[in-house]
Amino acid sequence: MTDNVIPLHVEPVALKKSELYSSLWASCDELRGGMDASQYKDYVLVMLFIKYVSDKYAGQPYAPIKIPVGASFADMVKLKGMDTIGDDINKKIIAPLAIANKLSDVPDFNDVNKLGSGKELVERLTNLIGIFERKELDFSKNRADGDDILGDAYEYLMRHFATESGKSKGQFYTPAEVSRIMAKILGIREARTSGSTTVYDPTCGSGSLLLKLADEATTQVSLYGQEKDATTSGLARMNMILHNNPQAEVQQGNTLANPLFLTDEGMLKTFDYVVANPPFSDKRWVNGVSIANDPHDRFTPYGTPPDKQGDYAYLLHIVRSLKSTGKGACILPHGVLFRGNAEAEIRKNLIKRGYIKGIIGLPANLFYGTGIPACIVVIDKENADRRDGIFMIDASAGYMKDGNKNRLRDRDIHKIVDVFTNQFEIAGYSRMVGLEEIGRNEFNLNIPRYVDGQQAEDIQDIAGHLQGGIPVADVEALGQYWSVCPGLKDALFQPNRSGYVDLRVEPEAIKATILAHPEFGLFSREMADLFEDWRSRSTLLLKQLAVGCHPKDVIGKLSEDLLEHYVGKDLVDCYDVYQHLMDYWAEVMQDDCYLIAMDDWKAETYRILEVNKKGKEIDKGWACDLVPKDLIVARYFASQQSAIESQQAELETAIAQMTELEEEHGGEDGAFGELEKVNGANVKARLKEMKGESAAKDEEKVLKVWLKLFDQSAGLKKGIKEAEEAIDRLAYGQYSGLSEAEIKALVVDDKWMARREGTIAGEMERLSQGLAQRVKVLALRYAVALPDVTQQVAELEAKVAEHLAKMGFAL
């Protein structure tokens, strides 16, 4: 495209979450090499903090965060390129900010061991500041502020830092998915919270757990955290500010040896909610702890944890830190559920007091500090004396792979929370286990003792193999299908003998039989109607979005409505449908909604410019994020696109015929045998040479056919290119005339809802394919009985013996 054809913006016009994330992550490139991720994260997050608070609070007299004169991000920009940039950042920017806002242990921006010295340090810090000057990082203009876009970016960075930090240095971060579960199962959203509601994390790390609980509460709550590592506690304090919780109290120190949240009498302060992800099996927990004479009386009533296993030390600290009606959740290794000796005694005493409300077994390899499986132990003091059971969930099988780690999906989180909150008992997944049964098992809480999460084994039927026939038990195991389509079973199977059936159709016809059956057709139509009901309701909601809307609220309403819409529906797993929507949200809809929240329903185009290896800008055409070109083409220029597709089909046919000729006549004696390379010029030259050669008539005929196809292909390629350029101009021209109603129709109907309809259709395909595959497996498994196999083997042996005898050999 030439410049005079498309006079466009050179970059997107509004902030997208994905671009914010990539810009922040790019800042890390300036620091990689001199230190590992567990260190350079500190510099990036401090820069993010300074930029954010400067944009939001600089010049405001009564702001919760004080920005001293001369210590804003704008003042930092003035230091770019100066020889003293590192020292100046420390003294002129960091120090005043830290003193004014009680921040501690901020990284040294003049550390030559990490940042280099001389020119290297100056360039590195100058480039780092330059990245945070980008306009997509201008937080003063964020209209979606209540949606916490900055907090999400912080979470994104922390997860990536933890991934890069390796096994031994990723403990500063609790995966956000686990934090969300803990926040939701404690029921703080349903509670009557206020500013006096207290939430505490004794090992708060970067503060993610505390913040997730604060997000879940319907009102502002008071946050308290203590963290042993000095640098991480500083990050936690900044994290509180970035998440609009500047009043949160974060203390630095060893919680077990020196708890810092105390009453006026020196006793442990108690809280409404406590959450924690303490270091697993801390072998040094006793350092500085007065076990025999603990002034806070944390161990005496229950027992003393082993010197080399600190898990119960942290759990008992949580129990002691809860009010009489307090609720808590703690992430611990599975070993706490069944280890013996001193830990068994502590576990028994906690169970007998009724403090343990539930246990949730999580998948292995979720956490960045370890690969071992963990669990969430839920503590609830309220009505503990009347508790007669512990609710257990085995959620170990619900996850997705994410690089070298496992990760909980939205569906896994939602299912855990739903099941735990409502105490749903699901075979192989969850169960309320009575204290009497636990007592009979010597207070062992190992989840597999009570919840069998193993998949049922696919048992081979010996009688079926010996006498033929598919076991009726295997057919009845597919009962969920027969309950919806009772007549389909008879369409697929016919009686054999008592307890066994045969396949009524050929194995290749199984899926066609399913799809053609009227009951399955009726079910498919009912599912289509069900989706249409949700679509009409959701379309109305989505077309009402406007500037300032909160995308998180949008997806919250949309996804919860979808999940509820499909709960209890036959064959379809409501959590599968929910996950499809959440995946599409992360992939496409989230950025779209942020564009709308910032700039309303505007279909603005921009030029795509790339810089090649020589530093030259290359024009790669144009694009529109909210309304991609393919939507415009499909709605307004379908006939032109169809013509192009017809030409492309002709081109593919011609190319296939040329390839076939080349393969058929490509040998030494073939028509193409003497050509060094098969192309138009060489074929024409060869035809010229062959003029008058009577012996080469067949070869000449082949080459002429090939050349005709070649010319046809060239013409088609030229025609396709011209047609694509024409449709490109037409599509671009369409944008300027689009009304808001048309943009909404393109985005909501053609883009978002069309994709959702496709996933629902995919679910129906998955259902039919799953049934067809299982029936086929059963049919083929028992297709030939053992006596028939034996007879076939005997017949083959006889034939082999006969042939060998003719050859003079004897068996």
Q: How far apart are CA 679 and CA 370, in angstroms?
A: 59
Q: Give the pLDDT confidence score for residue 293 in this predicted structure.
A: 86
Q: Phi/psi of residue 544, each to 5°?
A: -95, 0
pLDDT band at 1 (very low <50, low <70, confident <90, very high): very low
Instruction: Specify the pLDDT at position 242.
Output: 78
pLDDT at 653: 96
Residue 44: pLDDT band with limits 50, 70, 90: confident
Q: Is the pLDDT score of 147 beyond 50?
A: no
Distance CA 547, CA 604 (A): 15
- In tens, the pLDDT along 251-270 reads 999 999 999 999 999 999 99
- Largest Cα–Cα distance of the chain, in whole Å? 115
Weakest mean pLDDT among 26-40, 46-60, 151-165: 26-40
Find the mean pLDDT for residues 63-70: 87
**Per-residue model confidence (pLDDT) at position 193:** 86
DSSP per-residue string spanning 284-297: TTTTT--STT-TT-
pLDDT digit string (tens) for 218-246?
Answer: 999 999 999 998 888 888 888 888 788 88
Tokens of 769: 């394919």
Q: For residue 457, what are the CA distances in angstroms to 11, 425, 453, 454, 460? A: 56, 22, 12, 9, 9
Per residue in 764-802, pLDDT tens?
Answer: 999 999 999 999 999 999 988 888 878 888 888 888 888
CA 591 – CA 589 distance, rounded (Å): 6
Which residues touch 509 (CB under 8 Å, ≥6 apart)?
none
Name the more confident of 378 and 665: 378
Does residue 32 have a pLDDT over 70?
no
Cβ count within 10 A of residue 454: 10
Q: pLDDT tens for residues 81-120?
A: 999 999 999 999 999 998 888 787 788 899 888 888 899 8
Average pLDDT, the chain: 88
Contacts of 313 (CB under 8 A, 6+ apart): 256, 282, 285, 289, 298, 299, 305
Residue 203: which pLDDT band, with cuts at 50, 70 and 90?
A: very high
48 pLDDT band (50/70/90 cuts)? Answer: confident
For residues 758 and 465, what is the distance between their CA atoms, to the nearest angstrom? 41
Mean pLDDT of 177-193: 92
| Burial of 135: CB neighbours in 10 Å, binned 0-12, 13-18, 19+ | exposed
pLDDT by residue (tens digit) across 638-662? 999 999 999 999 999 999 999 999 9
Return the pLDDT at 694.
63
Tens digit of pLDDT for each residue in 447-492? 999 998 777 788 899 999 999 899 999 999 999 999 999 999 999 9
Q: What is the pTM of this model?
A: 0.85
| pLDDT value of position 168 | 45
pLDDT at 124 over 80: yes
pLDDT at position 29: 67
Q: Is 797 exposed, middle or buried (0-12, 13-18, 19+ CB in 10 A)?
A: exposed
Token reading at 241: 């500010």
Average pLDDT over residues 713-720: 96
Please give the share of the chain, as a percent, with pLDDT higher than 90.
61
Judged by DSSP in three states, 14 sits in coil
Mean of the pLDDT values across residues 652-678? 89
User: Tell me, what's the pLDDT at 12?
Assistant: 43
What SS3 state is found at 361?
A: strand
Question: What pLDDT does residue 706 have?
Answer: 94
**Predicted confidence (pLDDT) at residue 146 exceeds the cutoff of 50:** no
- 410 CB contacts (<8 Å, ≥6 apart)? 559, 578, 579, 582
Over residues 308-321, the pLDDT tens digits come to: 999 999 999 999 99
485 Cβ neighbours under 8 A, 6+ residues apart: 517, 519, 520, 523
Q: What is the mean pLDDT of residues 145-151?
A: 54
Helices 37-57 + 149-165 axis angle, to 10: 170
Runs of H (alpha helix) within 665-753: 680-689, 697-735, 740-744
Of residues 130 and 601, more confidently modeled = 601
**Residue 495 carries which side chain, given as an amino acid letter?**
P
Q: Residue 113: its pLDDT value, please?
A: 86
pLDDT at 167 over 60: no
The whole-number pLDDT of residue 688 equals 86
| 139 pLDDT more than 80 | no
**What is the rounded average pLDDT of the residues 187-211?**
91
At 141 the pLDDT is 62
Find the DSSP H helices in 668-696.
680-689
| Residue 4's pLDDT band (cuts 50, 70, 90) | very low
